[in-house]
Amino acid sequence: MAIAYQAISTVATKTTTTTGSLTLNAPAGVTTDDLLVACISFRGATTPSIPAGWAIVNRTQVTGNTNTNAQSIGSGLMAWIKRGATNPSFVFGATAGQQFPNLAFGYVVRISGQDLTDPLAGTSVNTLATAATTVTTGGYTRSFLTNTANDYIELMLCMGGQEQRTTAGPWSTQQYTTGPTSMTEIAESSNTAGADGSIAVARSTTLGNTTGGFSALSDLQTTCRSSLIVASFGGPRSLVTGYSFSTLI
């Protein structure tokens, strides 16, 4: 079975400015051996804890937690887990001293057909040093080959703050800077009531590329600094060739 995107959960939001945890929602149809990928955007420079069994894909914690122009409030993390017989914990930031200090919100993406042992094939992250509407990551090389040329799913997590929502939403364009020219946004959300911020998740199945850079165009105010995390997940690893077998009689 080829790797395939299946579903994304509804958004889970922590809007209070008091320290606490964030409980994500499970996507529809989750079953044994599914790959679950948590995508969380938050304000603050802490390192939130992750539930048991989850593994970090990438994260960025950036300083600044106010609405002052050019403050960096686009922190985020991406983590994955292979679902067992029952759902894992979806409570992030549950450990004292490793909680979310302010706004936090996120989604869980459901993928099937991934390599069951080590599905993460590559990742990249970038946080803007100055305010701008476009954030770009560098390219990366995937760590293993799979059975088919397009047997990869790329996930992009876009994060930002000081949201000024337009009809296009907080993130109007996500694309490869090399290779395929577009990605498909599968969810986005923003908050402007007190603690401002935004999040968008996009995906693409690549067409045989082994490297690539990524960019996202935000509809945020130009005074906002944003972040971007990209990850590649692969299907089952190719069988090792070059061996011969004999039957013992």
Task: Give me the amino acid identity at 175.
Answer: Q
Distances in Å between the Cα of 142 and the Cα atoms of 59, 95, 126, 210 are: 18, 33, 18, 6
Distance between CA atoms of 247 and 229, rounded to whole angstroms? 49
Residue 216 has pLDDT above 60, yes or no: yes
Measured distance CA(79)–CA(59) in Å, rounded: 9
Closest C-alpha to 132, from 202, 215, 75, 64? 215
Residue 230, classed as helix, strand or coil, is strand
Per-residue pLDDT tens for 143-155? Answer: 665 555 567 888 8
Nearest to 35 by CA among 5, 65, 67: 5
Q: Structural domain boundaries of the chain?
A: 4-234
First to last CA, the chain: 34
Which pLDDT belongs to residue 248?
43
Predicted confidence at residue 54, as pLDDT, reads 98
Model pLDDT for residues 142-197, shown as the tens digit of each residue: 766 555 556 788 888 888 765 544 455 678 888 888 767 778 899 988 877 656 77
pLDDT digits (tens, 9 = 90+) for 45-71: 788 999 999 999 999 887 654 444 445
Please choose, from the candidates 177, 166, 171, 141, the residue with its C-alpha nearest in 3D space to the C-alpha of residue 39: 171
Regarding pTM above 0.85, the answer is: yes
Average predicted confidence (pLDDT) for the chain:
80
CB 122 within 8 A of CB 156: no
Q: How many CB atoms lie within 10 A of CB 28?
A: 11
Using CA atoms, how far residue 126 sits from 30, 70, 96, 157, 197, in Å, is 31, 16, 28, 11, 17
Which amino acid is residue 77, in one-letter code?
L
Alpha-carbon distance of 198 to 69, in angstroms, equals 16
Q: Which residues contact 227 (CB under 8 A, 6 or more apart)?
A: 60, 62, 74, 75, 76, 125, 126, 127, 128, 135, 158, 159, 160
